[in-house]
Structure 1
Amino acid sequence: MDEEREARMTLAALSEPGDTITGTLVARLSAAETVHLITSGDRLPNGIDPAEGELWLRRLAPRINPGQIDRILSDMERHDLRLLTPEDLDWPGELQQLGTSAPIALWLKGDPSQLSTPLPGRVTIVGARASTAYGSQVATELASELASQGRTIVSGGAYGIDGSAHRAATVSFPGSTIAVLATGLDRLYPTGHEQLFERIEQSGGLLVSELPPGSAPTRWRFLQRNRMLAALSGATVVVEAGHRSGSLNVAGQAHALGRPVGAVPGPVTSPASAGCHRLIQEGLANLIIDAQDVTDLLDSTAGFSGDRTFAYSPTRRFSRTGPDLKF
């Protein structure tokens, strides 16, 4: 393992996902030089706000652990995990569209080729954790038909809509789903989906996390995970979402990235569909009634270059003038 690769592992363990100061320093210097700044306490380069830089150093420096890399490597071997960095050929280049909030590294369990498919070949399906029977049925039908077309279903592994989409893809076309998790891949969450995650991996699918083994789930990490769900697919479809659903945040990030968004309408009396109706009303999502509508969205990204970047904000709000959506 070279110095730069080891440094990325260290930074992923020290900093939280989406840390823009870490991302800025890695882009301007290198991962190894960034780790040196943390351990040495040297002055940060110009362009970093001194007050924010001081807070960054005070937050990360105490987390340095001499045995950290050995522990991570040991956990990776024990759980059969693979490390991916931007220097690797399998690295999904579309993540760099996230700019300074792009992941420092990725840990994978399963088939890494899932990340090498063209962007229109992947679709993110998300929705409420407390889904209704209607929402679960729609998610199952959409994921099943899209997987049968050779599309890869990307979701977050949560209860509700996420789980329905993963299960349908795994049953219909084994190896056609990616679960992007907000924990280390040695402590899968939610624990009630351990068997589902095992089926995803064993059937040829993929588990992905930007957090090293040993990382626990936190609210912030779930929120930051949303940017990856948005960036890894050619389109995002929200099946069910309440007014404050985290799925709306995924839609907001996808919209900001210039990716098409779809939303499934539901009964006007259902709180579980209120967020979807809002997306459609705001003109930020196309109305989705079947898999053909999703295919049309994906086909519209066939020429997408991934050159557009944006200043990531996990708490954007929808308004009549632009992307919103708060977790």
Structure 2
Amino acid sequence: MIYTITLNPSIDYVMEVESFQEGTVNRASETRYYPGGKGINVSRVLKRLGADTIALGYAAGFTGNFIKEKLIEEQVAVRLLEVDGHSRINVKLKAVKETEINGTGPLVDDDAVKRLLQQLNHLTSEDIVVLAGSVPGTVPSNIYETLILKCQEHDAKVVLDTGGSTLKALLSYKPFFIKPNHHELGDLFSINIQSIDDVIHYAGKIHEQGVQNVVVSMAGEGAILYTESGVYFAKAPKGEVRNSVGAGDSLVAGFLAGFVNSNNIEEALRYGIASGSATAFSYDLCQKVDVNHLLEQVHLEKL
């Protein structure tokens, strides 16, 4: 089973405005609402790809109810815990320039943290747990460390999809898989990544710390996988980019779905790249038929 933990789920409210003007009334030409948050996106894509997944985390208020209802409609198994406050609403404004306004999260107290940890007591070595996204301000700052240690108690594989100082602090726990983009990789070492050679060099440094699989995405150029069996470059398919929201989450989901189905890291990378690209070429998260269509365009090269 693949579990995702989203501490701060959201409603993603997408508004398309043909000609946005600051300081006046603007009217959207189209609006859409989706359950959001990085872990939620991973679970939604996993389900679409036919992989077993359960969404864990927190939900609050009427916005939290919307998130749960939409996930149930998509047949995602939902075990979000009720907490006080309201789940956030994130506005995605699509105009000449894409702008995001992210709301604040709910209240998560010590009891809620204990309840989440209890949900992990049934993990086994066959399970994968994805820790993804931001940490609400009311949650202890070391919550990811606590969750990782709980997973390690049960020998479950841990996937980290976060960035900045949070990711840097967690590398010593030797997760199964991380997916920084090339900018985030540079931030980990306080340098500016300028070439594929730079990506390979610094991904190797992370691998040396015990991270089993390091995928560094490079937007439309593709991705580098640094793993025990070698270093691989996957060239991204070509297409019209319509949506940047959730592409990275889709890569994570595709990688995990491919790994679970094949137990092959190379196949996992191909499936991940196809899934991330399929989302980028869609208005919502990818569908399996689109991922399969792009698979034949994803070519791997061992470096």
TM-score (norm: length of structure 2): 0.36
Relative contact order, higher structure (CA 8 A, sep 6+):
1
Higher relative strand content: 2
Looking at secondary structure, tell me which structure has more helix per residue.
1
